[in-house]
Amino acid sequence: MARAAAAAEWSGRAAAAARWSGRAALAAVGALAGLLAACVSPAAEAGGDGVARASFAQPSTRYNHEALGPGNEWAALGLDGTEFPAGDALVFEDVAPRLADLDGDGDLEVIVVESSLTQGSRLAVWGGKGRIAATPFIGTRHRWLAPVGAADLDGDGRVEIAYVETPHLGKILKIVRLDGDRLAPVAEARGLTNHRYGDPFIQGGIARCGGVPTILAANADWTRVVAIALSGGALISRDLSAYRDPGSFANLPGCD
């Protein structure tokens, strides 16, 4: 496994999984665990601006979106014991913060979804001392984005971050890369999604298919599982199999 891909870690998933319930959610947990197993690494050592532990804190109802069902909007981000308030105009809106080494220095950064009460969501990256970079807001209240994962998708040694912007409406897969203090656009593709409104979990993720880090998502009407690779700056989609339930992303031929 490439070093950058190996450094991607999603330590928040256990906390997120603990809140899930029901058979579908259990299937999703299994699928997610399978997808992520190849990308887990030990937590980064303390020191520098890196983060070892991240969690959301201070449940909030001030945004009242409930895209992830009740209880997944937060007024603060906890990083290694320090709480950073979102501020009056924002909430954090995801199942958990996501840890990954996005700049290849061996320390982990934190990927979060921040939602403006008036402009909807943006993807943001934090270090231990505060926010490092963010995408522009989507621009409309109650328009959300669902993270997919982070890995060196194109093998160039730099880690990309994948997310689906407006997974219930526009269904646009977007790839960005941390470049200093900005998240630079890399590529995008339409007609792909990874979340159904109200589900307290996100589906799909990044697996290794044919040895290549590959995004797994659903097509726009949730009938097919699609594999998406990044090559030469372009996203290349490949139909994989039927989508039936959250477990459809697990045990795919050629992917582990």
Member of 103, 114, 165, 199 binding Ca ion (CB under 5 A)? 103
For Cα atoms 130, 136, 137, give the angle at the middle one, nearest 5 degrees: 95
- In the complex with Ca ion, which residue's Cβ is closer, 27 or 100? 100
Question: Smallest distance from the beta carbon of 28 to Ca ion, in angstroms?
Answer: 27
Question: Smallest distance from the beta carbon of 105 to Ca ion, in angstroms?
Answer: 4
Question: Smallest distance from the beta carbon of 1 to Ca ion, in angstroms?
Answer: 14
- In the complex with Ca ion, which residue's Cβ is closer, 93 or 103? 103
Q: Is 105 in the site for Ca ion (CB under 5 A)?
A: yes
Q: Which stretch binds Ca ion (CB under 5 A): 11-19, 146-154, 185-193, 198-206?
A: 146-154
* Contact yes or no for 126/109 (Cβ under 8 A): yes
Q: Is 131 in the site for Ca ion (CB under 5 A)?
A: no
Place of tokens 């097919």: 224
Tell me how many residues contact Ca ion (CB under 5 A): 8
Among residue numbers 35 through 64, which ones bind Ca ion (CB under 5 A)? none
- In the complex with Ca ion, which residue's Cβ is closer, 94 or 152? 152
Q: Is 152 in the site for Ca ion (CB under 5 A)?
A: yes
- The string of DSSP codes covering the chain is --HHHHH---TTHHHHHHH--SHHHHHHHHHHHHHHGGG--PPPPS-TT--S-EEEEEE--SS---TT-TT-EEEEEEETTEEEE--TTEEEESSS-EEE-SSSSSSPEEEEEEEETTTEEEEEEEETTEEEEEPPP-SSTT--EEEEEEE-TTSSSS-EEEEEESTTTT-EEEEEEEETTEEEEEEEEESEE---TT-SS---EEEEETTEEEEEEEETTSSEEEEEEEETTEEEEEEEEE--SGGGGSS-TTB-
Site string for Ca ion, 153-192 (x = CB under 5 A): -x-x-x----------------------------------
Question: Smallest distance from the beta carbon of 5 to Ca ion, in angstroms?
Answer: 9
- In the complex with Ca ion, which residue's Cβ is closer, 73 or 101? 101
Q: Is 101 in the site for Ca ion (CB under 5 A)?
A: yes
Q: Report CA dihedral (191, 20, 131, 8) to the nearest 10 degrees.
A: -70
- In the complex with Ca ion, which residue's Cβ is closer, 31 or 132? 132
Question: Smallest distance from the beta carbon of 97 to Ca ion, in angstroms?
Answer: 15
Q: Is 9 in the site for Ca ion (CB under 5 A)?
A: no
Residues found near Ca ion in the complex (CB under 5 A): 101, 103, 105, 107, 152, 154, 156, 158
